[in-house]
Amino acid sequence: MAIDCLVLGAGQEVGKSCAVVTIGGKRIMFDCGMHMGYLDRRRYPDFSRAAPDGDFTGALDCIVITHFHLDHVGALPYFTEVCGYRGPIYMTFPTKALAPLMLEDYRKVMVERRGEEEQFTAEHIAACMKKVIAVDLKQTVQVDSELQIRAYYAGHVIGAAMFYAKVGDSALVYTGDYNMTPDRHLGAAQIDRLHLDLLITESTYATTVRDSKYTREREFLMAVHKCVAGGGKVLIPTFALGRAQELCMLLDDYWERMNLNVPIYFSAGLTIQANMYYKMLINWTSQKVKETYVTRNPFDFKNVRNFDRSMINSPGPCVLFATPGMISGGFSLEVFKNWAPSEINLVTLPGYCVAGTIGHKLMSGKPTKIDLDKDTQIDVRCQIHQLSFSPHTDAKGIMDLVKFLSPKHVILVHGEKPKMASLKGKIESELGIPCYDPANNENVSVPSTHFVKACASDAFVRSSLSPNFKFSRRIGEYGFSHSGDTEVRPYLQVRDERVAEGIVVIEGNKAAKVIHQDELPNFLRKERHEVKFAYCFPAHSTKKNEEPDHNFTDGLQCSSRQCSLLRALLCELSKEFRQEEIQDFGEYIKVESLHVAVCSTDQCPYRVGDHPLSGRGSMFLCCSWLAGDEQLAWKLISTIKTLDLGLPL
Amino acid sequence: MEPPSASSGERSLDPLTSFTSIPLARHNLASLRSLVINPSTPISLVTSIFEALSRHLEHGPDSLLLLPALNLLSELASRRPGLSHVVFDRVRSRLLSSESARVAAESLDAIALVAERDETLSSSLDGQFDSFFVSLCFDRSVSVRRWLLRNAERFGVRPHVLVTVFLGFTKDPYPCVREAALDGLVNLSKSSAFEDRGLVEGCYYRALELLGDVEACVRCAAIRTVCDWGHILVAFMQGTEKKEQSDAIFIQLCSMVRDMSMEVRVEAFDALGKTQTVSLKNLLQSLSKKVLGSMKENRSVCQSTGPVALSASSVAGALVHGFEDEYYEVRRSVCHSMRRLCMISSEFSIGAISLLMDMLNDDSVIVRLEALETMHHMATCDHLNLEVMHMHMFLGALVDKNELVRAAIRKILKFVKLRDRELLKLSVNGLIKNLETYPQDEVDIFSVLFHVGQRHGNFVACFINEVFHEIEPSPDGKLSFDCARVAALLVLSISAPTFAEKNVGEIPQRVFSYAVTLLGRISHAVGDITSQNALFAYLSQGSSCMEDNISEFGQQILANMGKDGAASLASNQNDLDQFPLGEASSEHKKMYARKFWQPNEESELTAKQLQIHDDITESLNGIFTKVKAVWPLVKAGFTNEVLKILRIYEEELKTLETKCTDSPALAFTLQYMRTLKFLASVWSYFHSTIGQCCRVVSQLDILLVKLERTLRDMKCRFTGLSKEDELYLLELTSVSLTLNLSKLMTGRGYVVNLKRLAAVLLQVECLQQEHGVEPSSFICELKKSMPDIHSAAGVMFSLPHFLRKMLDAFSLKQFELSRTLQNLSAEITVPDNDSENPIHFIHGLPVGIQLEITLCNISRENRLWLEMTMGKESKQFIFLDLKLFGGSNDLKKGTYFATYYKTPKAVSFTLKVCIGVECFPEEIYAGMPSGGPKRELTYLSPEREVYFSAKSQKLT
């Protein structure tokens, strides 16, 4: 069995996320985004590869959308309404609520402002959204009898989710975009420890390691506070969803704590509508917001008021949130024109601005004049503060997640090629997990897990019920290998035998069964066989005070002689082999399965060689051991041979 | 069920027979229990209950009843300590033959309970049940196993058995058992010591393996175990191995901070907070998410690290992650563990401080407070290095909405060392902003400013010079002391010179005068360092003799302020130190005299300023302080100067009196001044040689009598003195008596004085025993030498020397006038009577006089007498019954008709009437005419003259 992952978009690039995964015979499309950088057919994923015959409904079992950003959901109406996919679509409740807003906004910009050809209509969006099945976090959805999916919290934006999909024993997680560091208004990604064959993760910041988010917050707050304290106006151009709420919450908290009363304004429009959604979606926000919600809705910003166009030139300090984020037009541009010429004012810029926007011009160097068009020129004297809040996880976050989930394979998507390659190397070397970074339209195939069900025998179940642990001193299996110089010291280890004792038997066509090891001979209808080795050799002893021979015939004397020999042997051996447990059973000495006894028969079949003092007084040691302890046995025997067991000791 | 009483033997026998004969049943367990817990149940009955229960334990048919029976037995043992041994034995015998694990566990529990309650049995547990416990653990029942592991310590199982069992069960498939086993190991590590290194390693490595457990609760327990056993393991090691192992533990714990479970993260940070040692590079790495260079080159950070793959990346930014955590519990835990980590290294502290600063921006108050508390810890171990870049965040907390946060940050500011002027300026401005925004914080802010000023004298002096123009009056002469900023700056500026002498000149003197206007507010704020009086004296000194610089006097006081406040200031030892009198040269004397003149001039000035304050006691306290400082001068023999000073004070007080009349405190102080004047005069006699002393005995006698009278007045005319003040009064009295004794007196007077002295000392003792008031060194001395004084009676010359030596131990103290102080007073008016309108009388017959009497603060205990004196000799006393007067204790008023009997044979005469109160019992009766008061009188009212003229004249 294998899992196939066909990357239709976001392979070694950022944009138009789309991956079709075949798992256990089921085909799932994760995300259906568009690329904002292209206006031609490259804008959409190449859907034809998913179903060459054009029957998408038959080719795919379901579509899963992780969040409402256009590069994850942008192609959906096109795919369902134009390409004709009719199957189920899954997304979280907030995504279902906010995606149409984004799509409609995008369609308007495309069609009404730029006058492009319409890709999909408002009706298409509405029709598409009707097909969507909303899911909740950690809710296991049975798509059909075999395929089940489950959403986990991903941070990033409100409603963003990672999706777990499972068919039979194979399982995978598709992360979408996620954030491992909590925001003010969103929590950190949260997922269970799952047994995964595959993890498909974003890698936007594959090489960046960000320092504390508080530094960014502090700098932002300081800049804003300084500006309003000096009587200036602050313009914060933002996207309507996400950053606007984050920054606003940050400011509102700060205002509250510092008892500031400079007004904060929201420009009317999408932002206010978005705030309304946030108020309803409290369950999807951060822990802090949820806790605060007990007393008040934290999105009912205490210090925030609505802005009126007439207030642009009213005197006194203020803070204004305005859309769009990159000052590409609209209200934020209008305000910018008015406020930019004064050096006491401040304009903050989002972390990323598309080339050609005013935001981009401001970011690249510090221009003093900006030409808006042929006739208009703006004098820019205001201060510029660049924000670097990002809702994506950094390289360390990706590593942390991969480490936590420890999947068998990792596929990187949604990132830039060279950076992905670097991260790929890191995952492979540091975590030892095979990792892939396919380009668009490439297919990656990884093996999947298949479990065999087995029943357990009664004896095995019984033996498993009671604990049965054993201690042993052994050399550690880990950690020492790379340090040859350190002394290898054994330490106490414990193991529970009951788990290890079972034996799997598969008999003909019957189902597999786990039995207790004692049952095995019975089960096989065979006697228990043991391979035993034996070796009889003369003991070396220099008699310091030779006793008269007549003693030798005495049986009693003889046994005491044997005993003392064994005692001497025991004593010597325990000095030599401190790590082994040497037991004394009177008649013989036992080390693991090795028995050492004084040979009592003259015609021992295992005897090798004659005693140096052959004849009277010669003593032979007879050893026997099981195959498993062969090495140990020879080691001991060779040691015994060198010993001088002079009598009496 | 009625508890059977011991008397009704019949009824108590009933249940007895029933319990012994009928097998135990569910329904009668409750009644058995009520019998057991009733203390009046006869012991015989209890014994039979015990028999019945134990029989049931052995042969009871109903296994369901075993558990209640066990419970009842353990309860019985606890109620009847006499039976605990029997119960113990019985349950133990049963225990070893039980077939159900649950019953066995319960009986073990019962045994443990019995043993816990009976000390004699507790030792009998030791090691007795080891094998039983172990075999029970191996039973199939998971719940029993878990319970046993959780309670293992109660059964007296020997540690080496326990550790094996615990270690074994960390392999259990049930998470709850694994958790219990790990927790057992943690507890064991605390209670027992382990010698076998191999064993310790075994436990440690096993716990390491469990750090990767699937269950969060097991991971939590594993973290605790790794932390505790890791430290035990470290203790076995030496040198580099020890270092490496410490690092290994640190790294292991750091690798857990990215766990998905909040509980695990909290546990991990808690454990990090217990770090004992760790290498600096690891510490620093935990502050940076990026892998540092030092960590890169040395990949094999630690060798014996165990199963979890370790690298610098697991340490990288561990603490940063904690600070960024979504849950405040985690952030709080990080802030807390930073305290320990910051103690390890100062270099680390420098890096950590900016992270901690960011936590002041946290939305959770708990976290902000925790972070501040950590900074406070850092400040106390001098690891808090503030930079200008931190100050925005740091001082931002000063205007935090939460007052606890503001208080916490001010607490830090008190301790922190600011390294340059810029920091000081920022801090002070921050504090002023705090004061402006939250005026309710004033007390604390002033105190902080004072502390800051003391710690950073140099910077403050420069700073104050910069901003001095703000304090100065505006061109139109307005002082803006009510403005928060100016007030704060004043506080700061007066604090500065206390630090180093060289600053003194740099602070403009006027500041001190200005600061006096804020005396009340400032002294309230800095009450922990100095008393108001000391501060007042300091301000007065500061503003006047700055050129002299306030070297000895000021410095002395201020050094005390810095050290341990007013307490040490008050001790007379210090006072003596200020004036090295012994061989004072004339130059010295002059200087001291001048010093004491200056404050007087100053105090007149300040007295005017003080009129702003309506609280009179404040100024009185100021005077007390100054007066106290006068004493060494008295001792040194500057009697005239001292009398001058005292007179000035007296005048000062009188000016006050015009402002507020009827202040008991003021009256008291005036009286005290008078006393002191007498005391100073008397003392001067003893200062010179004995010969001189002899010459002026008669004068001295008068003075002594006056002194005694003023003292008596103080004692009798004022009520509501605090116990300390009472004691001080007694001390003064005994001083006066001692002085009296030392003027070479023999005979009856001497004996009377001795008796009175003894009586005073007795009172002191009462005060000491009943109220725990500590007497002064003088009184102690006196007490010790009382027998000597007795025996020395009559030995003419040695005595005075001996007494004088004792008197040296005496010094003035300060009255802490309480609010309850009241002035006993009375007033008599005679309506329609003056020299023009005399009362008519007939010679030889009694004459009635109508008196309007007003009594203030007189209570029942006071015995009042109306004294009528004609001429010099003839006195008549009338006892005033208080019942005759209406009104409350505070104010009684009434008309009283007094009768004067001894009308003289004269055309006219005047009678002086006044009201006196009998003194307290220790004042020995000094020979009054019979019919009058038994003790000396203290006069409460001014004398009033009543005029009489003979009736006969008119008739004729």
* Span B386-401, pLDDT tens digits: 888 888 888 888 888 8
| Structure-token pair, residue B30 | 């409750």
Three-state DSSP class for B947? strand
Specify the long-range contacts of residues B868-873, CB closer than 8 Å, at least 24 apart: B868/B898, B868/B900, B868/B911, B868/B912, B868/B913, B869/B911, B869/B912, B869/B913, B870/B902, B870/B904, B870/B909, B870/B910, B870/B911, B870/B912, B871/B909
Three-state secondary structure readout of B667-702: HHHHHHHHHHHHHHHHHHHHHCCHHHHHHCHHHHHH
Report the DSSP beta bridge partners of residue B460: none
Contacts of A221 in chain B (CB under 8 A): 361
Based on the fold, state whether residues A412 and A548 are members of the same structural domain: no
Query: What φ, ψ does residue A619 adopt, rounded to 5°?
Result: -120, 140
B201 → closest Cβ in A217, A257, A492: A492
Cβ separation of B358 and A211 shorter than 8 Å?
A: no
Contacts of B164 in chain A (CB under 8 A): 471
Tens-digit pLDDT profile for residues B343-360? 888 889 888 888 888 888
A94 lies in a domain? yes
Q: Which residue has the tokens 């000396």?
A: B936
A476 lies in a domain? yes
Percent of chain A with pLDDT over 90: 26
ipTM, interface predicted TM-score of the complex: 0.79
Q: How far apart are CA B397 and CA B449, in angstroms?
A: 16
B363 → closest Cβ in A288, A469, A490: A288
How much is the average pLDDT of B825-843?
A: 83
A434 prior amide bond cis, ω within 30: no
Tens-digit pLDDT profile for residues B209-251? 899 888 899 999 999 999 999 999 898 888 888 888 888 899 8
The four Cα atoms A342, A343, A347, A349 give a dihedral, to 10 degrees, of 130
Three-state DSSP class for B866? strand
Domain stop point among A503, A524, A545: A524
A209 touches chain B (CB under 8 A): yes
Q: Is the pLDDT of residue A552 over 50?
A: no
Contacts of B361 in chain A (CB under 8 A): 214, 217-218, 221, 254
How much is the average pLDDT of B888-899?
A: 80
Cα-based distances in Å from B508 to A282, B474, B494, B513, B556: 61, 16, 10, 10, 21
Tens-digit pLDDT profile for residues A182-202? 888 899 999 988 889 999 999
A347 lies in a domain? yes
Using alpha carbons, select from A59, A49, A45 the residue that is nearest to residue A9. Answer: A45
Q: Is the pLDDT of residue B327 over 80?
A: yes
Contacts of B205 in chain A (CB under 8 A): 476, 491, 493
Tens-digit pLDDT profile for residues B156-215? 888 888 888 898 888 888 899 999 999 999 999 888 888 888 888 888 988 998 998 888
The more confident residue out of B671 and B269 is: B269
A361 lies in a domain? yes
Based on the fold, state whether residues A441 and A478 are members of the same structural domain: no
Q: Is the pLDDT of residue B306 over 50?
A: no
Q: How far apart are CA B550 and CA B545, in angstroms?
A: 6
Q: Is the pLDDT of residue A409 over 90?
A: yes
* Residue of chain A with shortest Cα separation from B170: A494
Q: How far apart are CA A134 and CA B762, in angstroms?
A: 92
pLDDT at A268: 63
Query: What φ, ψ does residue A4 adopt, rounded to 5°?
Result: -110, 135
pLDDT at B308: 42
B-contacting residues in A 76-115 (Cβ below 8 Å): none
Q: Quote the minimal CA–CA distance from A186 to chain B in Å.
A: 9
Q: Is the pLDDT of residue A130 over 80?
A: yes
Based on the fold, state whether residues A334 and A350 are members of the same structural domain: yes
Contacts of A213 in chain B (CB under 8 A): 324
A466 → closest Cβ in B140, B358, B363: B140
A647 lies in a domain? no
Amino acid identity at A469:
F
Using alpha carbons, select from B385, B407, B383 the residue that is nearest to residue B397. Answer: B407
Based on the fold, state whether residues A140 and A93 are members of the same structural domain: yes
How far is CA B315 from its chain centroid?
A: 45
Based on the fold, state whether residues A372 and A404 are members of the same structural domain: no
A-contacting residues in B 41-70 (Cβ below 8 Å): none
* Residue of chain B with shortest Cα separation from A406: B212
Amino acid identity at A200:
I
DSSP-derived secondary structure for A505-559: E--TTSPEEEE-GGGHHHHHT------EEEEEEEPP---SSPPPTHHHH-HHHHH
Percent of chain A with pLDDT over 70: 89
B399 touches chain A (CB under 8 A): yes
Q: Which residue has the tokens 């004339």?
A: B586
Query: What φ, ψ does residue A377 adopt, rounded to 5°?
Result: -135, 135
Domain stop point among A524, A542, A576: A524
Q: Quote the minimal CA–CA distance from B255 to chain A in Å.
A: 10
Cβ separation of B260 and A190 shorter than 8 Å?
A: yes
B586 pLDDT tier (thresholds 50, 70, 90): very low
Q: Is the pLDDT of residue B564 over 60?
A: no
Three-state DSSP class for A399? helix
Q: Is the pLDDT of residue B830 over 80?
A: yes
Q: Is the pLDDT of residue A579 over 90?
A: no
How much is the average pLDDT of A170-181?
A: 93
A491 → closest Cβ in B205, B288, B290: B205
Query: Which of B320, B329, B331 has the most A C-beta neighbours within 10 Å, making it the best mutation to test the interface with A?
Result: B320
* Among the ranges given (A73-87, A100-114, A442-456, B272-286), the one the predictor scored with the smallest mean pLDDT: A100-114
Contacts of B402 in chain A (CB under 8 A): 257
B468 touches chain A (CB under 8 A): no
DSSP-derived secondary structure for A473-501: EEE-SSS-TT-TTS---EEEEEEEHHHHT
Q: Is the pLDDT of residue B561 over 50?
A: no
Catalytic residues of A: 202
Based on the fold, state whether residues A79 and A125 are members of the same structural domain: yes
pLDDT at B851: 86
Based on the fold, state whether residues A101 and A187 are members of the same structural domain: yes
A648 lies in a domain? no
| Structure-token pair, residue B359 | 């936590």
E strands, B413-491, in order: none
B248 touches chain A (CB under 8 A): no
| Structure-token pair, residue A206 | 């594959």
Cβ separation of B313 and A404 shorter than 8 Å?
A: no
Domain stop point among A399, A415, A447: A447
Q: How far apart are CA A488 and CA A353, in angstroms?
A: 58
A467 → closest Cβ in B172, B306, B313: B172
* Among the ranges given (A232-246, B323-337, B776-790), the one the predictor scored with the smallest mean pLDDT: B776-790
- The helix/strand count (H/E) of chain B reads as 45, 12
Q: How far apart are CA B330 and CA B264, in angstroms?
A: 9
Query: What φ, ψ does residue B840 adopt, rounded to 5°?
Result: -90, 145
Contacts of A188 in chain B (CB under 8 A): 325-326
Strands A264-266 and A318-322: parallel
Q: Quote the minimal CA–CA distance from A291 to chain B in Å.
A: 10
A195 touches chain B (CB under 8 A): no
B-contacting residues in A 433-472 (Cβ below 8 Å): 465-469, 471
| Structure-token pair, residue B10 | 């019949």
Q: How far apart are CA A560 and CA A549, in angstroms?
A: 15
Based on the fold, state whether residues A127 and A22 are members of the same structural domain: yes
Contacts of B331 in chain A (CB under 8 A): none
B393 touches chain A (CB under 8 A): yes
Domain of A93: which CATH number? 3.60.15.10
Q: Is the pLDDT of residue A648 over 50?
A: no
Report the DSSP beta bridge partners of residue B938: B917
Report the DSSP beta bridge partners of residue A198: A172, A409
B351 touches chain A (CB under 8 A): no
Q: Is the pLDDT of residue B812 over 50?
A: yes
* Among the ranges given (A162-166, A536-540, B146-150, B545-549), the one the predictor scored with the smallest mean pLDDT: B545-549
Q: Is the pLDDT of residue A347 over 50?
A: yes
A479 → closest Cβ in B305, B326, B401: B305
The more confident residue out of B798 and B593 is: B798
Based on the fold, state whether residues A260 and A153 are members of the same structural domain: no
pLDDT at A164: 96
pLDDT at B535: 77
Tens-digit pLDDT profile for residues B838-882? 888 888 888 888 888 888 888 777 788 888 888 777 788 888 887
- What is the gyration radius of the CA atoms in chain A, in angstroms? 38
Q: Quote the minimal CA–CA distance from B238 to chain A in Å.
A: 14
Cβ separation of A467 and B364 shorter than 8 Å?
A: no
Using alpha carbons, select from A601, A599, A625, A605 the residue that is nearest to residue A538. Answer: A599
Using alpha carbons, select from B7, B6, B84 the residue that is nearest to residue B45. Answer: B6
Q: How far apart are CA A386 and CA B691, in angstroms?
A: 95
pLDDT at A196: 92
pLDDT at B694: 46
pLDDT at B46: 85
Tens-digit pLDDT profile for residues B124-161? 777 777 888 888 888 878 888 899 899 888 888 888 88
Cβ separation of A494 and B399 shorter than 8 Å?
A: no
Q: Is the pLDDT of residue B4 over 70?
A: no
A496 → closest Cβ in B171, B306, B392: B171
A495 touches chain B (CB under 8 A): yes
Most confident of the ranges A146-160, A330-344, B143-157, B196-210: A146-160
Q: Quote the minimal CA–CA distance from A434 to chain B in Å.
A: 17
pLDDT at A175: 94
B930 pLDDT tier (thresholds 50, 70, 90): low
Based on the fold, state whether residues A422 and A536 are members of the same structural domain: no
The more confident residue out of B165 and A472 is: B165
Q: How far apart are CA A10 and CA A27, in angstroms?
A: 18
Q: Which residue has the tokens 């909405």?
A: B401
Total domains, chain A: 4
Contacts of B163 in chain A (CB under 8 A): none
Q: Quote the minimal CA–CA distance from B343 to chain A in Å.
A: 22
Residue A112: DSSP 8-state: I
Q: How far apart are CA B926 and CA B941, in angstroms?
A: 22
Print the domain residue range for A469: 455-524
pLDDT at A372: 73
A469 → closest Cβ in B168, B300, B320: B168
Contacts of A298 in chain B (CB under 8 A): none
Q: Is the pLDDT of residue B798 over 60?
A: no
A483 touches chain B (CB under 8 A): yes
Report the DSSP beta bridge partners of residue A152: A162
pLDDT at A565: 76
A273 lies in a domain? yes
Contact, A478 vs A493, CB < 8 A?
Answer: no
Other CB atoms within a 10 A radius of the CB of residue A74 amount to: 29
| Mean pLDDT over the full length of chain B | 76
How much is the average pLDDT of A282-291?
A: 85
Cβ separation of B167 and A471 shorter than 8 Å?
A: yes
pLDDT at A543: 52
Determine the angle formed by the axes of helices B777-792 and B723-741, rounding to 10 degrees.
Answer: 30
Cβ separation of A211 and B290 shorter than 8 Å?
A: yes
Q: Is the pLDDT of residue A5 over 90?
A: yes
A237 lies in a domain? yes
Based on the fold, state whether residues A79 and A30 are members of the same structural domain: yes
Cα-based distances in Å from A375 to A366, A371, A378, A380: 21, 8, 10, 16
Domain of A345: which CATH number? 3.40.50.10890
Based on the fold, state whether residues A281 and A324 are members of the same structural domain: yes
* Among the ranges given (A409-413, A546-550, A639-643, B695-699), the one the predictor scored with the smallest mean pLDDT: A546-550
The four Cα atoms B249, B254, B258, B263 give a dihedral, to 10 degrees, of 60
Other CB atoms within a 10 A radius of the CB of residue A522 amount to: 12
Determine the angle formed by the axes of helices B175-191 and B197-210, rounding to 10 degrees.
Answer: 140
Other CB atoms within a 10 A radius of the CB of residue A299 amount to: 24
Three-state DSSP class for A369? strand
B819 pLDDT tier (thresholds 50, 70, 90): low
* Among the ranges given (B394-403, B431-440, B835-844), the one the predictor scored with the smallest mean pLDDT: B835-844
Contact, B248 vs B305, CB < 8 A?
Answer: yes
* Among the ranges given (B176-180, B367-371, B500-504, B691-695), the one the predictor scored with the smallest mean pLDDT: B691-695
A481 pLDDT tier (thresholds 50, 70, 90): very low
B-contacting residues in A 338-377 (Cβ below 8 Å): none
Q: Quote the minimal CA–CA distance from B109 to chain A in Å.
A: 22
Cβ separation of A187 and B326 shorter than 8 Å?
A: yes
Contacts of A256 in chain B (CB under 8 A): 401
Query: Which of A221, A478, A487 has the most B C-beta neighbours within 10 Å, making it the best mutation to test the interface with B?
Result: A478
Label residue A62 exposed, middle or buried (CB < 10 Å: 0-12, 13-18, 19+): buried
